[in-house]
A and B are shown apart, each in its own frame.
Chain A
Amino acid sequence: MGKGELTIPLKRKRAVHSRRPHGLLFIIPLLLLFSTHPDAAHSALQSKGQEQQKRETGNKDQIDDPFKKGRSIMEEVERRAKSVSEHLFLTMIIRDSAGKERKRALEVWNEYNQDGRRKNLMRFTSPQMVRNTGLLSLEREAGEDDQWLYLPILRKSKRIAASAKTNEFVGTDFTFEDLSAENIDDFKYEFQGEQETGGHTCFVVKAIPLESRAKSTGYSERIIFIRKDIYAPVMIQHYDWDGKFYKKWLASDLVHVKDECWRANREEMIKVIENKCTILLIDRRISSDTLDNAIFTQRELTKEY
């Protein structure tokens, strides 16, 4: 275990669900996101939002049912994450078990509808081998997302099925699922206590896919660590369907983007058993209330540079 990581003795059980599971993370994008430097975070909270923050936190603390409390925390995380649209320029570093690295650059556009549904477009800009490969995800009101993959070698976009979402995205340690929006109605969240992580007090919430979601997720459960002061996920532990600790997502270098929204400038997805990882570094971030809707279309997905 590395510095600041969790040591809670969480007992692993095989999931009760009949089929495959899967996880949520809302987040890469979401993930791709949140939080702040501790100091900056605290000072920000101490200003205008502090009272409200305390009130909300207080209310959540008063909930006794661990599932209701877990759900309540996740709703707050989602609310804050969905408040900002972003255009990101990223560097992706894929490090194998021997320490050999491959670097890739990509652009990501991320937005939430007024009804909270997420839209995401990402496209590799280098190196040549993956340039212009893109993924468009549109969260639907019910059921799985609409997802299309554009491969420049085929010169057309292909709709991909949910089963494909458990596949790794273009050789990275992120799966399509990791890059999809997380619908909190697809999971059961159990509050498991508070834990000091990276110098911050974090809520620890276990996410278990519901039966309807189980067949399209690669994870039987995830343990999500959420900073109590800013409601930003900083670590997620993923367990596979054999109940093994499989992957770990870490967020650091958190920055205050807007209002109560925090984002991570560095994310890491570590495959624990294979000792390999993918690191995402935000090189440039353009945040706004909304993005041009024309971005999340086939026209933009199939555009080459």
Chain B
Amino acid sequence: MTGKKNFIIITIFLISAFLLPWYQKGVQCAPFGTFDINILGRGYAYFQPAPGEEKETLGETKINLTYSNTFRKGLFFKLSSRLQIDTDQQSEGALDSYKDNDRKRKIFDVNEGFIEHRLGRFDYFLGKRILSWGKGDHFNLSDKINPKDYTDFLDNEKMGILLAGVKLYPTRNSQLEACLIPFFTRSRIQFSDSRWAPCGQGFRIEEDIPDDAMQYASRYSLYLNNLDIDVTYMRKTEDLATCLIVPTPMIGSPDLYGPPGLVAQYRKMNLFSIEGATTMADQFELHAGAAYHDIDKNELYGQFIQYLLGINYTLEEKLPFSKSVKLIGEYLGDIDINKPENKKLIVLDFSRIFENSLFMRITSKLTDFSDFQIGNLFSLEKSFNDILRLEYTYNPNDKLEFKAGLDLIWGDDQLIFEQFEENDRMWISIKYLF
């Protein structure tokens, strides 16, 4: 019933968005906007079968459809949807909802559908949307508005969420943005029946979601000579759970306990961050920032600060096999301000998996139409934990894109990496843009 209701609301909203500009007297509207269609096919070959089955391959097809139009008077509309199927049945159902808390993806998924209206020094927007905040390339301290889809842990695409927001432009080099998120949407993780289930198979998992779903975020951005600054505040429920291990009392015998279960707790918190980006010595782009997290249930979680240091550098020298090489390096650190005493209950804190980690990506432009990329994410917290991706891209023209890659994962038994250690794989993808 709820699904139908959601569908009706979204349909009315979308129809209104289409019709609204036509009712503005004297305003000519673009009769057609921009339609973008692209088809993506991917195939994965894993080196080991998935838990509980012999399957070692996965195929998926995604058809992305995007319509956008800018009407007169600065009214912009965008609708982005996707048809997706795969051989692992990771997608099911055809109707989307604005909360989208289902464990499985939708076969027909509306990821974005919003209007944005520009009025002088003021914009407002409404609908399901993806926002990108923060200065980082891989780690982002304040880019926490949208949840992510971890159906494939290494893909982690952002999910659109329903929000209403405004942007104010007090000066030409500054902007203030604020948005209200009325519903809580968690990141999509399959806790079972998936090779990307983070807790192993067979765990009993209960979810603990705060009753107060309302969230809001604001950001002030300033663009000065050779310096960009973002100051962000948000009151948010983390979209990634912290898993606590809890004993299970046996029925009728309160002193006896069965096998422990897990509670996936989604924590409400205040986040305050400041980030900056600049260029130095005409060679480097540098960005840095710090984010203070104040978790509501601080007797268990306390407060902590995450900080980020990053660099971008492009080498244009003539190299033997490359036209240019681009390097991105980032370090994400984490400091406990108020360390909780009973932290041992936490078996998995998704939001702090990479609390002491390095990310590096080297992109080598081999020819005008191809490049080779090495991405490496490794944790310095424990022993050897590493995710390595090698990727080759070839664009014979503006419509076709071929990719081939290799993902390798190493991990110890203290971190989530260990769960995925058997997920090493090779993959290829073909994308066609109409």
| A residues with CB within 8 A of B | 96, 100, 102, 104, 127-131, 140, 143-144, 146, 154-156, 158-164, 166-167, 171, 215-216, 218, 276, 293-294, 296-299, 303-305
Contacts and interface: CB of A to CB of B under 8 A. Distances in A.
Which one of B76, B167, B282, B316 has the highest number of Cβ atoms from chain A below 10 Å of its Cβ? B282
Interface range for B: 35 or more
B172 A161 contact: no
The 7 closest A-B CB pairs, nearest first, are A162-B282, A155-B132, A161-B279, A163-B283, A216-B282, A156-B132, A161-B285
A297 B174 CA distance: 9
A298 B223 contact: yes
A13 B282 CA distance: 25
Interface in B147-183: 167, 169, 172-173, 175
Nearest to A218: B316
B282 A163 contact: yes
Contact of B172 (A156, A160, A293): A293
A305 B70 contact: yes
A198 to B, nearest CB: 29
Contact of A164 (B169, B223, B285): B285
Interface in B68-87: 68, 70, 76, 78
Contacts of B397: 100, 102
Interface string B115-149: 00000000100000011111000000000000000
A127 B399 contact: yes
Contacts, number: 105
Contacts of A167: 314, 316, 324
A270 B68 CA distance: 35
A133 B264 CA distance: 40
A218 B398 CA distance: 27
Interface of B: 34, 36, 38, 68, 70, 76, 78, 123, 130-134, 167, 169, 172-173, 175, 221, 223, 225-226, 228, 277-285, 312-314, 316, 324, 368, 395, 397-399, 401, 433-434
Given A129-B433, A164-B314, A293-B172, A144 B68 contact: no
A128 B399 CA distance: 8
Judged by DSSP, the binding face of B is strand
A130 B398 CA distance: 9
A34 B311 CA distance: 39
A299 B169 contact: yes
Contacts of A130: 398
A298 B68 contact: no
B314 A128 contact: no
Contacts of A96: 368
B317 to A, nearest CB: 9
Nearest to A96: B368
17 contacts: A128-B433, A140-B225, A155-B130, A156-B134, A158-B277, A160-B279, A161-B279, A164-B285, A167-B324, A294-B172, A297-B169, A298-B175, A299-B169, A299-B175, A303-B76, A304-B76, A305-B76
Contacts of A218: 316
A293 B121 CA distance: 12
Contact of A158 (B130, B173, B281, B285): B285
A216 B280 CA distance: 12
Contacts of A127: 398-399, 433
A128 B434 contact: yes
B316 A161 contact: no
Contacts of B434: 128
Which one of A143, A144, A296, A305 has the highest number of Cβ atoms from chain B below 10 Å of its Cβ? A305
Contacts of B279: 144, 159-162
Nearest to B129: A155
A262 B245 CA distance: 74
Nearest to A100: B397
A140 B226 CA distance: 9
Contacts of B36: 128, 131
B398 A102 contact: yes
Which one of A130, A143, A160, A161 has the highest number of Cβ atoms from chain B below 10 Å of its Cβ? A161
A159 B172 contact: no
Contact of A155 (B68, B76, B123, B131): B131
Nearest to B38: A128
Contacts of B123: 299
A154 B38 CA distance: 18
A144 B281 CA distance: 10
A161 B399 contact: no
Which one of A164, A303, A304 has the highest number of Cβ atoms from chain B below 10 Å of its Cβ? A164
A130 B401 CA distance: 13
B169 A163 contact: no
A304 to B, nearest CB: 7
Nearest to A94: B368
A110 to B, nearest CB: 17
A146 B316 contact: no
Given A127-B399, A146-B226, A167-B324, A161 B282 contact: yes
A146 B175 contact: no
A156 B226 contact: no
A216 B282 CA distance: 6
A150 B60 CA distance: 30
Given A162-B279, A167-B324, 4 more contacts: A294-B169, A297-B172, A298-B173, A305-B70
